[in-house]
């Protein structure tokens, strides 16, 4: 797939690691971006808005979109469907934007398979499992059962950190944001193989 002059930044990590806070903190400091709004079948949480945090749909609607091949990738996370719509991503890449995904490890795998050339990935986590448990309990948005599921998931996800380009430990929000700004700026500079080959040919041709 040759889509672009844009680039992709994948952010993964356990719920509660502070991905959303980090994204809000860096978004105005990294140039033109498009934050991909995923589609999900999970229930809307207090404080969330349809079309802003997610496109909330029924399982039937989600499956229809799968059949219509509307997703760049999709996965089942914590028993709910989550997916990235291809259309807006293609458009943003054409416009040369940095496209940011907040997706899980399965989604990251799928994006790497299709668009590795223009993708930079970051795994964001708390310094320890104990800290993650504390944050999940403190945010008061999920039931004990949901928190337990998220913790189990986090333990599995953390095993796959080595698949990512960068690991950011969100101990101090300002420091983590500073690191993420550097990574986002570098992500834009990633050169697809095709362009490297073209550059080398042109470079050699002008001897």
Q: Are 13 and 158 in contact (CB under 8 A)?
A: no
Closer to ligand 5GP by Cβ: residue 102 or 117 = 102
Return the range that interacts with ligand 5GP (CB under 6 A); candidates 69-77, 88-96, 118-126, 175-183: 69-77
Q: Are 190 and 116 spatial neighbours (Cβ–Cβ below 8 Å)?
A: no
Instruction: Determine which residue in the list 3, 26, 100, 107 makes contact with ligand 5GP, applying CB under 6 A.
Output: 107
The closest alpha carbon to 83, from 68, 73, 92, belongs to 73
Helix, strand or coil, per DSSP, at residue 205: helix
Q: Which stretch, 59-67, 75-83, 115-123, 127-135, contacts ligand 5GP (CB under 6 A)?
A: 75-83
Does 119 interact with ligand 5GP (rule: CB under 6 A)? no
Pairing of strands 166-169, 55-56: unpaired
Contact pick of 102, 117, 136, 176 for ligand 5GP (by CB under 6 A)? 102
Cβ at position 207, least distance to ligand 5GP in Å: 48
Residue 169: CB atoms within 10 Å? 17
Cα distances from 31 to residues 26, 182, 188, in angstroms, run 10, 12, 9
- 60 neighbors 68 (Cβ within 8 angstroms): no
Q: Contact, 65 vs 83, CB < 8 A?
A: yes
Binding residue for ligand 5GP (CB under 6 A) from 4, 33, 38, 41? 38
Q: Could you say whether residue 18 binds ligand 5GP (CB under 6 A)?
A: no
Nearer to ligand 5GP among residue 25 and residue 195 (C-beta): 25
Of 62, 82, 123, 166, which one interacts with ligand 5GP (CB under 6 A)? 82
Residues that bind ligand 5GP (CB under 6 A): 12, 15, 38, 42, 73, 75, 77, 82-84, 102-104, 106-107
């Amino acid at each position: 797939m040759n889509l672009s002059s844009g680039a992709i930044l994948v952010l993964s990590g356990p719920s509660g690691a502070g991905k959303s806070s980090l994204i809000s903190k860096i978004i105005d400091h990294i140039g033109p971006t498009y934050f991909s709004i995923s589609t999900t079948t999970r229930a809307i949480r207090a404080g969330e808005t349809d079309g802003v945090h997610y496109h909330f749909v029924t399982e039937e609607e989600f499956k229809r979109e799968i059949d219509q091949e509307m997703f760049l990738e999709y996965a089942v996370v914590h028993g709910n469907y989550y997916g990235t719509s291809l259309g807006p991503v293609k458009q943003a890449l054409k416009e040369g934007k940095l496209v940011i995904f907040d997706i899980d490890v399965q989604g990251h795998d799928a994006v790497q398979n299709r668009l590795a050339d223009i993708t930079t990935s970051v795994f964001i986590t708390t310094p320890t499992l104990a800290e993650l448990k504390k944050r999940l309990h403190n945010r008061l948005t999920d039931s004990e059962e949901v928190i337990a599921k998220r913790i189990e998931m986090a333990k599995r996800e953390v095993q796959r950190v080595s698949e990512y380009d960068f690991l950011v430990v969100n101990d101090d929000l300002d420091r983590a944001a500073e690191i993420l700004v550097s990574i986002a700026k570098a992500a834009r500079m990633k050169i697809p193989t095709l362009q490297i080959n073209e550059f080398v040919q042109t470079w050699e041709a002008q001897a």
